[in-house]
Amino acid sequence: MKVVVAIDSFKGSLSSIDAGKITASALRDVDKNIDVKVFPLADGGEGTVDALTSGLDGKIISAEVTGPLGDKIKSRYGIIANNTAVIEMADAAGITLIPAEKRNPLNTTTYGLGELILQAANSGCREFIIGIGGSATNDCGLGMLTALGVKFLRADGSLVGIYGGDLKDVATVDVSNLNPILRECKFRIACDVTNPLYGEKGCSAVYGPQKGATPEIVRAMDGWIKNFAATVENQLGLTGAEIAGAGAAGGLGYAFHTFLGGTLEPGIDLVLDAVKIERELKTADFVITGEGRLDFQTAMGKAPIGVAKLAKKNNPAIKVIAVCGAATPEAVEVNQHGIDAYFPILHTVTTLEDALKFENAKLNLYQTVTQIFRLVSSQ
């Protein structure tokens, strides 16, 4: 029997690799002859750097960069096989880096993300996997591109600033000083939204309020961003405002696609390709996947569904089992998307605090997997 294990983190409790190792141990204790293959799992958002670097024997590199409010902060990125850099933009410009009372997209920047990219490129990385979820910014990549060498100028020829509010001043775009090393780089962007750059479904209108934008700021920034895109198209012939995902992370999707030739991909698809799981799925009998909570959002395409769909595509006879910390009534929808059965791991009434403790979660997951495969092995 061959079992592929790819479980997303149980947030606040087990990492993806922890969950995978615990599951593998349970399987081998049921039957030492089970062939177990464990893969890290993430969806391109929080936890992707940790999952891929720990699961693929990579390393974490510490870095100091410009934070979303312009101060210096400690950040990091990962390096995995073939000098591929793994970056979460939230480590440099994330909303959790800013106290709620200071959130305002007029005053935030993606400059630090550009600094992370340059540090990774200067260390030899030429392939990039970048998750752009959780941003605090709406600067259309102005800060990031400035850090990478693009010059944005006012009508009088002076340089504009690096914050969202500076978009209104951009009259000229000069890419002649874009760092030449970036022409050797390939950018794959984990992007799970389809919003265009501007308009009623654009980045300002849809995501601006959660970043601190008032209705007045939303209207102003939407206009500035529309003008910014028009300036780029008129002067450089570069387009991309209407592509699905252009509005992701306050316009970062647009910036990567338009200026850096980046491809925007569903996060789970990008991660599954990076970990090379597909070849093992073709010959597996079972897949074990899961996450901390299965609910209606899971069925809409989160990591476990990505695993299930890829498994069924490559091996229609394979059985997909999901484990989770908790499951809402709506979780039954996952059975329509490739997961054959799911099993919450809690065995008794408990508090959330106790359920999240590592040792308790470890025991609960171990026992659940053991019982499932005692039944499977007896058939």
- In this prediction, residue 202 carries a pLDDT of 96
Residue 347 and residue 26: Cα distance in Å, rounded?
16
Side-chain half-sphere CA neighbours of 266 within 13 A: 11
- Which of 372, 369, 351 minimizes the C-alpha distance to 360? 351
Q: Answer whether 77's CB lies under 8 Å from 91's CB.
A: yes
pLDDT tens, per residue, the chain with 379 residues: 999 999 999 988 999 999 999 999 999 999 999 999 999 999 888 889 999 998 999 999 999 999 999 999 999 999 998 899 999 999 999 999 999 999 999 999 999 999 999 999 999 999 999 999 899 999 999 999 999 999 999 999 999 999 999 999 999 999 999 999 999 999 999 998 899 999 999 999 999 999 999 999 999 999 999 999 999 999 999 999 999 999 999 999 999 999 999 999 999 999 999 999 999 999 999 999 999 999 988 888 889 999 999 999 999 999 999 999 999 999 999 999 999 999 999 999 999 999 999 999 999 999 999 999 999 988 7
- The ranges assigned to domains in the chain are 2-41+276-377, 48-268
pLDDT for 379: 76
Give residues with Cβ within 8 angstroms of 238, minimum separation 6: 232, 258, 259
Q: Which phi-psi region, left, alpha or beta, contains residue 348 (left: φ > 0; alpha: ψ -120 to 50)?
A: beta
Cross-strand bridge partners of residue 61: 77
Provide the Cα torsion 204, 207, 209, 213; round to 10°. -40
Q: Any idea how long the chain is? A: 379
d(CA 93, CA 324): 30
Q: Quote the pLDDT of residue 110.
A: 98
- Per CATH, the number for 48-268 is 3.90.1510.10
DSSP state of 159: B
Q: Assess contact for 249 and 204: CB atoms under 8 A.
A: no
Q: Which two tokens stand for residue 220?
A: 């102003």
Give the count of beta carbons closer than 10 Å to the beta carbon of residue 32: 7
314: number of Cβ within 10 Å:
16
Fold of 2-41+276-377: Rossmann fold (3.40.50)
SS3 105: helix
Q: Give the sign of the dihedral formed by CA 145, CA 149, CA 154, CA 158.
A: positive
Predicted pLDDT of residue 43: 87
